[in-house]
Structure 1
Amino acid sequence: MESQRTFLFIGLLLVSYLLFQEWNNDYNQPKIDTSATTQVTTQNTPSATSQNDVPVSSQGDVPMAATKAIRSVITITTDVLAVQIDTKGGDIVEAKLLKHAETHGSEDPYLLLGEFEGKQYISQSGLIGLNGPDASQDGRPVYTSSNTQYQLNGDELRVPLTFVDAKGVEFTKTYVFKAGKYDVNLEYSVNNATADPVQVQLYTQVKRTIQAKGSMVDQTYLGTAYGTAEEPYEKYSFDDMVEANLNKNTLGGYVAFIQHYFVSAWVPAQDSNNTIYTAVRNGQGIMGLKGEPVNVQANSAANISATYYMGPKDGDALEQIHPDLDLTVDYGWLWFISQPLFVLLKFLYGLIGNWGLAIIAITILVKSALYPLTKAQYTSMAKMRMLQPKMQALKERYGDDRQKFGQATMELYRKEKVNPMGGCLPLLLQMPIFLALFYVFLESTELRHAEFMFWLTDLSAADPYYVLPILFGASMFLTQKLQPMTVTDPMQQKMMTYMPVVFTIFFLIFPFPSGLVLYWLVSNLITIAQMLIIYRGMEKKGLKVR
C-alpha cells in the first residue's frame, strides 16, 4: 500500500475477488441429488451413522441393512483432547480441543468433530472385504469395551474395542492416544482362530455435511484435500465432490477435511497401495481411503494400522505424520514465500513473546529489506512528476498526432534518463510478498485468539472499536498528501483523492482480522517515514519533489 497505484491495484484486486466469491456463493451452490440415496433411520445417538456410509469393497456392493443392536458411547480424555467413540462401528463422533476455546474468552473447548447447528462432522473407519465385519448383512459391528470412560494419566492411552463375528473371528480395534498429541493411532488386530482363511480391507474416511461458504470476509477454504505419490496436495471441493466421485490409486497418500485454523486427516500405511475416494450421501460429503485386501490364514492373526489427526493446523506436527500434510496449512500459490515468512514470524514471537509485536517486527524487517525497491519506486514517480510540464508542452505541440507525440515522449524519457515503468516494476516485485504475508496472517492458527495489547485481545478478529481501520485510513490519506501526484486526468485525481475514504469504509464494513490491519497500518507508517527520507535526499540534490 505504497502509492496511488498500489492503493488502486490492491483495491481493485481485493474487491473483485470478494465480489466474485460472493456471486459464486449466491448463484453457484452445489446442487445435491439425493433421490438415488437410500435413507436409513438410526437411533438418536451422537453418531447418527448408517450402513450406507460404508464404501464399496473390492469384492462388490455392501448390503444396505441396519443393525438393531444397542450401542453406547465411550469417552476418552487426554491433556489436549476430549473424544467420544460410538461402539457401533467404533467411529469418532465427537472431538473437543481442550487447548483451544470455542470463542474468544469462552471456557468451552473448541468442538472440531460432532453435531452442531444441524450439521455433522465425524470420522469413520472399519473393515470391509469378503469377511470384514463392516460389510456384514447385519450392519456395522457393535464393539464392546471394558470401560465407558478413559483418562490419559501417562504418556500413552490405549482404548481397545472388541467384536467377535458369528464364525468366531475376533476383531480388536484399538485407538492409541498420546500426551500432547492430536494424532491418534488406529490399530486393527484380526485374530482368526477358525479353520478357514478370512479376507478384510481397511477403510478410513471423514464425513461432513456439505455447507456453503460464509460471508465475503469468510474466504478461507472449507472442503476436502488429498495427497498422492504424484500429487502432494490437491483440493477437492464440495462442488467437485457433487459433480463427480473421486477414485485414485496411490502408494501411501492421505485425505483431509480442511477448515479455517483446523484440519482432520487420515494417513494410512505409506508402504501400501490405497484408493482415495469421495461420495455424497444424504447431503453429506465423504472422503476416504481404502487399503489393500489383507488375507488372514486359518489359526493366525494380522495387524492393520493408520493414523488420524484432529487438531489445529500445526505445520510441524502435520509434517511429522506425513511429509506433505503440512501443505494443508494452505498459503496459496505463494506458499514458498509464506512458509519462510511464517518461520521468521514464529522466531520473532519466540524472542518477543507477543504476536502483535511480532507482526510489527516482521513488517519492519520486510519493509527494510524492500527499501531499495521502495526508493526506486518513489524516485521514478518524482522524476515523472517533474516531467509533467514538458509532457504537457509536447501534448500541445503535437495535438492529436499520437505517433509523433509518442516518439517525442520516448525521446524525452531517454534524454532525461527516466523509465516510465520504474514506478510499477518495484510495486510488482513487492506484491508477492504482500500477498504472502496476507495468507500467513489469515491462515496461521497461532494468531487465533492471540492478544496484542489494550483493546486488541484477538488478532484473528476484527478491531471491536474500529480504531485500526480509522488509523489505517488516516495513514493512507497522509501518504497520499506526501507523495507527488503523477496522474493528470481530473477523474483519476478525484478517484485518488477519495481512495482513503473508500478503503476506510471498506475496512469498517468488512471486518478483516485486526492482525492483518495492524500489518497494513504499520506498513503505511514505515512507508511514510521512508518517503520523507527519500524525498529529503532528493531535495538536497536540488530536485523539486512536491
Structure 2
Amino acid sequence: MDDKKNIVLAVILTALILFGWPYIANHFFPAANPPATKVEGGKETPAPQPGADPAADSPGAIRDRALVLKEGPRVPIRTPKLTGSINLKGARIDDIVLPTYSETIAKDSPAIRLFSPSGTQDAFFAGFGWQGEGLKTPDNNTVWTAEGTELTPTSPVTLRWDNGAGQTFEIRYTVDQNYMISAQQKVSNSGAGAIGVKSYGYVSRTGIPHDPDTWTIHIGPMGVFNGAANYDVNYKDLDKGPSTQSFQSTGGWLGFTDKYWLSALVPDQKEAFAGQFRKGAGTQYQADYSLPPVMLAPGKAVTQTARLFVGAKEVKTLEAYQDAGIPLFDRAIDWGWFYWFEKPIFALLHWLFEHIGNFGVAIICLTFVVRALMFPVAQRQFASMAAMRAVQPKMKALQERYKDDKPKLQQEMMALYKREKVNPLAGCLPIFLQIPIFFALYKVLQLTIEMRHQPFVLWIKDLSAPDPLHILNLFGLLPFTPPAFLGIGVLALLLGISMYFQFKLNPAQMDPMQQQVFAIMPWVMMFIMAPFAAGLLVYWITNNCLSMAQQWWLYKRHPQLSAAPAK
C-alpha cells in the first residue's frame, strides 16, 4: 500500500515540476537567446533574428532609412567600433552602427544598428542643447555649421550656430576608440545684457526592445544616482503613470539599457543635475538631464562637457570607463545580488577563452577548475555516504521497530545519528555549492555580450542559445519545430543520460519515495533544461561526467561504498 502511495506521490510531483516549471521560469528566468541556427531538411542554416537589435531594418519602416539619411547635411562618424553620422539639422546623433557585431551568424548578416533617425522604424537618437528664458536657443530645426569633415578618434568636429541676437552656440564633438562621444557645449554672450542659460542632454527612443524585462535581467530606463544603481523604472511604469520619473544627483549617469547594448548620458561628474525618464506619445520614451542655470554677463562665455555612451556592454570596456571616473558604470549589466560571485566567474571564463579560443572548451575547463576546488568537499561527501551506508542496517531495524510510532522513530533516528557521528545532510553540501556556480554561469551566458554568438563544435553555433537540433522532429528532417517545452535536443538527452548513470552510482536511498524521485529526476531535468542555453548544458554534462569519474575513483579507494550493506 505504501509503495503505491509513493508511486502516486512521485507521479504527482513529476507532473507539478514539468507543468509548473515553465511558469516559474518565465517569471524568474529570461529565456535563452533565439537559436542562431535552424535545421530544415536535415541542413543547418542561420536563423533570422528580427529582434537582434532595437532598431533593425524592417520592411514596415515608417520611412525608408536610407532616404532619410540622405535628406539633410551630415558629418560622418568613423571609429574602430562605431560608424554613422551626425545630423546637422538639430545637431542630433541619430545614425549609429556597430560594425563589429552582426544581427545573426550568417556571413552576409547586417551589422547591429543602435541609432536611427526620427521618422524611421524604431527611431533612436541623442543630442545636446540649451534652454533659456527670453533667449533664442537652437532647436530641432536649427541647421548647424560644421567645422571638420569627419568625426574620428583623431579628428574632432565643432558645430556652430549664431542666434542673431548676440549669442553664439558651439558643440565640439570628440570620440574615443570605443563607444564614448564627448560633447563640449559652449555659449558665448556678446549681447548687451546678461542671459540665463542651462545645458541639457537627451536620449529619445520609439518602441520597446524585443528582449523582455525580467526579474533577473533589467531592460529599460536605468541610471546611477548619488552612488547607487537604479533599476526600479521600466517601460510599463511610465506607461501606467506617472509618465515622468525624476531624480536629483551629483555625479552619475542615465539612459536606456538593452540586453547587450547601452545608450547613456554622462553629465559632468562634479555638477549636480536633474535627471528624468519620460513617456511621450505612443511608444516614445526619453531619458534626459539638465544642469543648473548659469548667468552669463556680456562678453563672457561658459563651457560645459558631457558624454554619450552608445555601444555594446563589453565588460572590460565598461570597467575601463568606471575606472576613469564614471561611477558604477559596469552596473549597466544587471549582475544582480550575486555580483561579487558572477564577476569572478566571468573573469575566469573569459581568461580561459582568451587562451583557448573556444568558449565551449573554456566552459569545460571551467568545470574542471570548479570540480578541483570542490574535491575536498566531495571527499567529505563520500565519507558521509560510507558512514550512512554502514548504519543502514540499524536504521532499517529502527524503522521496523517503530513503524507505528513516527515521533519515536524520529527521536531514535536522531539519537542513532548522534551516536554513530553521521550527518545525513552532509551529502547534500556539494549540490548546494553547485547552485550559486550554476546560477552565476547562467547569468554570465545570458548577460554578457562576450558570450553572444559564440560557437562550440558541430551544430552548436551559439552557446547562449538553446540546442537547435531537436529529436522530436528527427533533427530537422520533419517539417515542424517543436515547442520549447518539447524541444529536446541532443545536449538535453546527454544531460538526462549522464544524470541517470550518476544517480545509479549513488548508494540506494533508504526511503522508497526518495529512491523513486531520484529515478525519474534525470528525465524531469532533461525536459526542464532543454530550453536553456547550450553552454549551461555543456557545463552540467561535463560536471556529471567528472562526478562519475570521481565516484568511480573513490569507490576503488573505498570498496565499502559500493558493497552491499551488512545485514
Give TM class, smaller chain: 0.7 to 0.9
2:403 to 399, 412, 436: 399
Deviation at 1:71, TM superposition (A): 5.2
CA distance in 1, matches of 2:215, 2:224: 25
Q: Which amino acid aligns with 1:172?
A: E
Q: Which amino acid aligns with 1:395?
A: Q
Deviation at 1:422, TM superposition (A): 1.3
TM-score of the pair, normalised by structure 2? 0.77
CA distance in 1, matches of 2:17, 2:554: 23
Deviation at 1:260, TM superposition (A): 1.6
Query: Pairwise mapping of residues 139-218 of structure 1 onto structure 2 (< 5 A)?
Result: 140-146=140-146, 150=150, 152=152, 155-178=153-176, 180-211=177-208
Deviation at 1:534, TM superposition (A): 2.9
Deviation at 1:313, TM superposition (A): 1.2
Deviation track 1:70-97 (CA, whole Å, cap 9, x = no partner) reads 9544442322212233333322223110
Per the alignment, in what secondary structure is the counterpart of residue 529 of structure 1?
A: helix
The answer on whether the counterparts of 2:88 and 2:146 sit within 8 Å (CA) in structure 1 is no
Residues 545/123 of structure 1: CA separation in 2 closer, same or farther (3 Å cut): farther
Residues 110/528 of structure 1: CA separation in 2 closer, same or farther (3 Å cut): same
Per the alignment, in what secondary structure is the counterpart of residue 246 of structure 1?
A: strand
Residues 485/206 of structure 1: CA separation in 2 closer, same or farther (3 Å cut): farther
CA distance in 1, matches of 2:238, 2:565: 57
Q: Which amino acid aligns with 1:142?
A: T
Q: Which residue of 2 aligns with 1:236?
A: 233
Deviation at 1:377, TM superposition (A): 3.3
Deviation at 1:198, TM superposition (A): 2.2
Query: Pairwise mapping of residues 264-343 of structure 1 onto structure 2 (< 5 A)?
Result: 264-282=263-281, 283-321=283-321, 322-343=326-347
Q: Which residue of 2 aligns with 1:520?
A: 540
Per the alignment, in what secondary structure is the counterpart of residue 88 of structure 1?
A: coil
Residues 156/148 of structure 1: CA separation in 2 closer, same or farther (3 Å cut): closer
Deviation track 1:136-167 (CA, whole Å, cap 9, x = no partner) reads 7xx53513234896363xx4232222222241
Residues 480/399 of structure 1: CA separation in 2 closer, same or farther (3 Å cut): closer
Residues 521/269 of structure 1: CA separation in 2 closer, same or farther (3 Å cut): same
The answer on whether the counterparts of 1:143 and 1:162 sit within 8 Å (CA) in structure 2 is no
Structure 1 unmatched runs, 5+: 24-42, 50-69
Per the alignment, in what secondary structure is the counterpart of residue 140 of structure 2?
A: coil
Per the alignment, in what secondary structure is the counterpart of residue 156 of structure 1?
A: coil
Per the alignment, in what secondary structure is the counterpart of residue 352 of structure 2?
A: helix
The answer on whether the counterparts of 1:76 and 1:149 sit within 8 Å (CA) in structure 2 is no
- Identity, % of aligned pairs? 29
Deviation at 1:252, TM superposition (A): 0.8
Residues 251/415 of structure 1: CA separation in 2 closer, same or farther (3 Å cut): same
Residues 90/239 of structure 1: CA separation in 2 closer, same or farther (3 Å cut): same
Q: Which residue of 1 aligns with 2:130?
A: 127
- Of 283-292 and 216-225, deviating more is 216-225
Deviation at 1:367, TM superposition (A): 1.6
Q: Which residue of 2 aligns with 1:111?
A: 113
Query: Pairwise mapping of residues 375-454 of structure 1 onto structure 2 (< 5 A)?
Result: 375-381=379-385, 383-384=387-388, 387-454=391-458
CA distance in 1, matches of 2:110, 2:200: 32
Residues 99/406 of structure 1: CA separation in 2 closer, same or farther (3 Å cut): same
CA distance in 1, matches of 2:395, 2:120: 64
Residues 190/225 of structure 1: CA separation in 2 closer, same or farther (3 Å cut): same
Deviation at 1:236, TM superposition (A): 2.4
1:476 to 478, 484, 499: 499
Structure 2 unmatched runs, 5+: 1-9, 31-61, 470-488
2:224 to 223, 227, 234: 227
Q: Which residue of 1 aligns with 2:528?
A: 506
2:466 to 462, 469, 487: 462
Q: Which amino acid aligns with 2:168?
A: E
The answer on whether the counterparts of 1:468 and 1:517 sit within 8 Å (CA) in structure 2 is yes
- Of 181-190 and 375-384, deviating more is 375-384
Q: Which residue of 2 aligns with 1:250?
A: 249
2:518 to 496, 505, 520: 496
CA distance in 1, matches of 2:371, 2:304: 52
Q: Which has the higher contact order (CA 8 A, sep 6+)?
A: 2
Deviation at 1:337, TM superposition (A): 0.8
Per the alignment, in what secondary structure is the counterpart of residue 116 of structure 2?
A: strand
Q: Which residue of 2 aligns with 1:260?
A: 259
CA distance in 1, matches of 2:17, 2:74: 52
The answer on whether the counterparts of 1:356 and 1:515 sit within 8 Å (CA) in structure 2 is yes
Superposition RMSD on alpha carbons, in Å?
3.6
Q: Which amino acid aligns with 1:252?
A: G
Q: Which amino acid aligns with 1:295?
A: M
The answer on whether the counterparts of 1:22 and 1:216 sit within 8 Å (CA) in structure 2 is no
Deviation at 1:383, TM superposition (A): 4.0
Deviation at 1:448, TM superposition (A): 1.4
